[in-house]
Structure 1
Amino acid sequence: MINQLPFLLALLSAALFGLSTPASKLLLEPLSPFQLAGMLYLGAAIGVVPWLIKTRVLFFPWQLSRRNRLYLLGAIANGGILGPVFLLLGLKLASAASASLWLNLELVATAILGYCLFKDHLGRIGWLGVGGCFLAASLLSWGEGSAGIRAGLLVALGCICWGFDNHLTALIDGIPPAQSTFWKGIVAGCINLTIGMVLTPLTATPTVIGWSLVVGILAYGLSIVLYITSAQDLGATRSQLIFACAPFFGVVFSAIALQEQITFI
């Protein structure tokens, strides 16, 4: 009998990550992009704690080699600090459903950066897929007018940052992925939250702050743990194919929770 649990874990991981965009759209009303980005990533750090407890090993950044420390620093700066802020700035200008679909540009950015800077190879079919994602995102931005174009560019910048993050994280060989997520969450979360509180007074209620952390725990922390767990059984490629459903979960959640109208260009 085929074990369906790894497949279900990968699907749940995608659903949790897809939930983050419509949930963030709601939380951006009482919180600034910097404040929310900080809380989401602090939540991510909390979310991977069960994985750390399971492994019973915690690597500290200063224990890594100089090269790995630089890779981790770059991953934190791009994936933890800049990426989420660009996404949330774009999300303020567009619908959550559109922003969810624009997140497919992370695949485009990762592929192009891999080819140009990290010596990755992608076949003809792979490039056709990348081109299709880029064309779809461009049409979606154009369909929302000038505000949509600005929002799409901001989300695209976030995806470029996450593209760098993907490659830099893959190059780190002295620390497990869950632990790099933990340090990324702690450091980037504190930095963005501090910047947000300096720029804008924190007026959100404890309930809003609590929900922000919960979204971070589920969408950026637990989602990563579930993905890693499923990949250990399914393999990275099959797990990534399932996780690619995340933007479409985001569209569905946006339609249900935010009553956003889904249209086709």
Structure 2
Amino acid sequence: MKGIGYAMEAALLFGAATPLAKLLLNEAPPLLLAGLLYLGAGLGLTLWIVARRGLDALGRADEAALSISDLPWLGGAILTGGVLGPILLMTGLRLTPATSASLLLNLEGVFTTLIAWFVFRENFDRRIAVGMLVIVVASLLLSWGGTLDLGSPWGSVCIIGACGCWAMDNNLTRQISACNPLQIACIKGLVAGSASTLMALLGGISAPPLGIVAAVAVVGFLGYGLSLALYILALRHIGTARTGAYFSLAPFIGVVLSLVMFGEVPGMLFWLAMVLMAWGLWLHLSERHNHEHSHDENTHNHQHTHDEHHQHSHDFPWGGGEPHTHSHHHAGLWHTHPHFPDIHHRHHH
């Protein structure tokens, strides 16, 4: 259940950042704000990583660093989610009414799930499929503005394309989720933030005052950087589709905080969406996936403890501290126990 906690914590931070970013939109246009948020995430995580290295030197367990073989996955995630996604979104927002754009943005979760299920073969059953459908419907109701004016068809195409890019980003990031989540989120934040900020400045947008930049950086660090690191940990433990389902709590958290901050009164659709979201989450939380399955022989590197999947010896001095990180070998194994599609359970059914 650890992965579920990570996903919900990520949703809480990202959801809380949304109304705060809405306030900051009065100080900076969307493209520049997105760039500064991601830069704040990258720079904040850089400082965190430097601070953690001091703790690691004192014996704290570190995470596995990215390797050369991980770079194509990371590069693809940054290109699709950090560069192409924001460009398509900003183009689409200029051509599409805000209410319709909010509805279309729910397609990210749909695309993420479909890619995870049918391209990367992540397992699911009828209960999970129904739960995901209910969560999507709840999200659609939450963002429904009462009208559906799609504006220019090219605007809708661009927003749908952005959702597809972010969905691919989520699935590509899952492939390297065994690596250090802080390092992955830091690199993605720095590269994506630099790209968006540069595009905004080259487009003639002026930088806001330093105090606003600092405020945006703090929101970016918590709502985008730390949230993304927790999201990656959730990918490691419960897979892409289930992480996306729990992360769908973020808009509800944002709406609730907006109600408090802006004194808005929720309508009937909000309460109906809340009921549906609760039902969808219950279907996921009550999942019990248990069957005999095999583990192929494998060697990889990630932070772990000596549980039933990690019964190995060490070729280096080890004082018994856990968790610890090193390259280790998994022998072939057949057994039965409840499990999620984590980094050790990506088998066929």
**What TM-score bracket applies, with the shorter chain setting the length?**
0.7 to 0.9
- Structure 1 counterpart of 2:38, from 37, 41, 44: 41
Report the equivalent of 1:223: 227
Q: How far 1:242 sits from its partner (Å)?
A: 5.9
Contact 2:35-2:194 within 8 A present in 1 as well: yes
- Structure 2 counterpart of 1:164, from 161, 168, 179: 168
Contact 1:107-1:130 within 8 A present in 2 as well: no
Contact 2:105-2:163 within 8 A present in 1 as well: yes
Per-residue CA deviations over 1:168-195 (Å, capped at 9, x if unaligned) read 0111278422211111111111111000
Structure 1: distance between partners of 2:147 and 2:110: 21
Structure 1: distance between partners of 2:104 and 2:139: 6
Report the equivalent of 1:20: 17
Contact 2:173-2:232 within 8 A present in 1 as well: no
Structure 1: distance between partners of 2:31 and 2:252: 26
In structure 1, list runs of 5 or more residues that go unmatched. Answer: none
Per-residue CA deviations over 1:198-224 (Å, capped at 9, x if unaligned) read 113214222221111111011012234
**Letter of the 1:123 counterpart:** D
Q: How far 1:31 sits from its partner (Å)?
A: 1.8
Per-residue CA deviations over 1:115-153 (Å, capped at 9, x if unaligned) read 332222321122222323443445544624316999987
**Letter of the 1:35 counterpart:** L
**Letter of the 1:120 counterpart:** E
Structure 2: distance between partners of 1:156 and 1:52: 38
CA separation of 1:180 and 1:223: change in aligned 2, threshold 3 A? same
Structure 2: distance between partners of 1:217 and 1:125: 35
CA separation of 1:132 and 1:152: change in aligned 2, threshold 3 A? farther
Report the equivalent of 2:78: 76
What pairs with 1:1-265 in structure 2 (closer than 5 Å)? Answer: 12-49=9-46, 50-51=48-49, 53-54=51-52, 64-65=68-69, 68-84=70-86, 90=93, 93-94=97-98, 99=102, 105-139=107-141, 140-141=143-144, 143-146=146-149, 157-172=161-176, 175-225=179-229, 236=238, 243-265=247-269
Name the SS of the counterpart of 1:48 in structure 2.
Answer: helix
Name the SS of the counterpart of 2:267 in structure 1.
Answer: coil
Name the SS of the counterpart of 1:143 in structure 2.
Answer: coil
Name the SS of the counterpart of 1:29 in structure 2.
Answer: coil
**Letter of the 1:44 counterpart:** A
Structure 1: distance between partners of 2:158 and 2:22: 15
Q: Return the index of the structure with the highest Cα Rg.
A: 2
Structure with greater contact order relative to length (CA < 8 Å, sep ≥ 6): 1
Per-residue CA deviations over 1:26-82 (Å, capped at 9, x if unaligned) read 222332222111111111113323246425579987x512xx222111111222234
**Letter of the 2:116 counterpart:** G
Contact 2:174-2:232 within 8 A present in 1 as well: no
CA separation of 1:9 and 1:181: change in aligned 2, threshold 3 A? closer
CA separation of 1:262 and 1:148: change in aligned 2, threshold 3 A? farther
**Letter of the 1:145 counterpart:** L
CA RMSD of aligned residues (A): 4.0
More displaced, 139-148 or 248-257?
139-148
Q: How far 1:105 sits from its partner (Å)?
A: 4.2
TM-score, with normalisation over the residues of structure 1? 0.74
Give the paired residue count: 253
CA separation of 1:116 and 1:8: change in aligned 2, threshold 3 A? closer
CA separation of 1:153 and 1:247: change in aligned 2, threshold 3 A? farther
Structure 2: distance between partners of 1:138 and 1:240: 15
Identity level (%)? 33
CA separation of 1:252 and 1:206: change in aligned 2, threshold 3 A? same
CA separation of 1:152 and 1:263: change in aligned 2, threshold 3 A? farther
Q: How far 1:164 sits from its partner (Å)?
A: 0.9
TM-score, with normalisation over the residues of structure 2? 0.58
